[in-house]
Chains A and B, each alone.
Chain A
Amino acid sequence: MFSTVLVANRGEIALRVVRACREAGIRSVAVYSTADRDSAAVRCADAAVHIGPPPAKSSYLSIPAIVEAARAVGADAIHPGYGFLSEDPDFAEVCAAHGITFIGPPPEVMQRLGDKAAARAAMADAGLPVLPGSCGALSSPGQAAEIADRIGFPVILKAVAGGGGRGMRVVREPGALARAYGETRAQARAVFGDERVYMEKFVDNARHIEVQVLCDMHGGAIHLGERDCSVQRRHQKLIEEAPAAGLDPGVRDAMCDAALQGAKAVGYVGAGTFEFVVSAAQEFHLMEVNCRLQVEHPVTEMVTGIDLVHEQLRIAAGAPLTMRQDDVVIRGAAIECRVNAEDPENDFVPTPGTLEEFVAPGGPFVRVDTHAFAGWRIGPDYDSLLAKVIAWAPDREAARARAARALDEFRVEGGGVRTTIPFLRRIIDHPAFGAATHTTTLVDAIVRGDEGCDVSPDLPQPQWLSHSTQYAKAGLAPWVSSDEASPNGQDAQPAVL
Chain B
Amino acid sequence: MSIECEGGANGAGNEVVSRVPRRFRLQAGDTVIEIDWLPGESAAPVSVTANGTAVLREAPAPAAISSASPAAHTASHAASSAATVIASVAACPATPAGGPAAVPEAAALFVRAPMVGTFYHSPDAGARPFVGVGDIVRPGQTIGILEVMKMMNPITAEVTGRVVDMVAGDAEPVEYDQPLIALEPVGSG
Assess whether B76 is interfacial by the CB under 8 Å rule: no
Assign chain B's interface to a size class. 20 to 34
In the complex, which residues of chain A have a beta carbon less than 8 angstroms from the beta carbon of B115?
52, 62, 64-65, 68
Tell me the complex Cα distance, A296–B54, Å.
43
User: Which of B3-11, B40-48, B128-136, B154-162 is near enough to bind chain A?
Assistant: B40-48
Q: Are B43 and A55 in contact (CB under 8 A)?
A: yes
Does B124 sit at the interface, judged by CB under 8 A?
no
State A59–B118 Cα separation when bound (angstroms).
17
Interface residues contributed by chain A, number (CB under 8 Å)? 22
**How far is it, in angstroms, between the C-alpha of A69 and the C-alpha of B178 when the chains are bound?**
13
A122 CA to B22 CA, complexed, in Å: 31
CB distance from B37 to the nearest CB of A (A): 11
Secondary structure type dominating chain A contacts:
helix
Chain B proximity mask over A48-71: 1 for CB below 8 Å, otherwise 0: 011111010111001111111101
- Min Cβ gap A100→B in Å is 12
* Residue in A50, A62, A68, A94 whose beta carbon sits within 8 Å of that of B177 in the complex: A50
**Cα distance, A67 to B24, chains bound together (Å):** 14
Contact A68 B148 (CB under 8 A): yes
B34 to chain A, nearest CB (A): 9
Residue ID in chain A nearest B38 by CB atoms: A57
Question: Which chain B residue shows the least CB distance to A34?
Answer: B177
| Cα–Cα, bound, A63→B150 (Å) | 13
Judged by DSSP, the binding face of B is loop
CA distance A50 to B46 in the complex (A): 14
A253 proximal to B (CB < 8 A): no
Q: Considering the chains assembled together, what is the distance between the CA atoms of A51 and B173 in angstroms?
A: 12
Chain A-chain B contacts (Cβ-Cβ < 8 Å), number:
65
A65 and B116 contact, CB distance less than 8 A: yes
User: Given that A64-B115, A64-B148 are contacting pairs, would A50 and B176 also be in contact in the complex, using a CB cutoff of 8 Å?
Assistant: yes
Question: Which B residue sits closest to A31, measured CB to CB?
Answer: B116
**A125 contacts the other chain (CB 8 A):** no
Interface membership of chain A positions 268-310, coded 1 if the CB is closer than 8 angstroms to chain B and 0 otherwise: 0000000000000000000000000000000000000000000
Residues of B within 8 A of A49 (CB): 116, 175
Does A474 lie at the interface of the complex (its beta carbon under 8 Å from any beta carbon of B)?
A: no
Select which of B23, B46, B117 is within 8 A of A68 by beta carbon.
B117
Across the interface, name the chain A residue whose C-beta is closest to B172: A72
In the complex, A63 Cα to B148 Cα: how many Å? 10
Residue A90 is within 8 A (CB to CB) of chain B in the complex = yes
Q: Chain A 79-105 against B: per-residue CB contact (8 Å), 1 yes, 0 no?
A: 000000000001000100000000000
B88 on interface, CB distance cutoff 8 Å: no
Distance in Å from the Cβ of B115 to the closest Cβ of chain A? 6
Q: How far is the CB of B52 from chain A (nearest CB, A)?
A: 12
Q: How far is the CB of A187 from chain B (nearest CB, A)?
A: 15
- Interchain residue pairs A-B with the least CB separation, the first 5: A72-B173, A50-B175, A68-B116, A53-B44, A64-B149
Residues of B within 8 A of A (CB): 22-23, 25, 38, 42-46, 49, 115-118, 148-149, 151, 173, 175-178
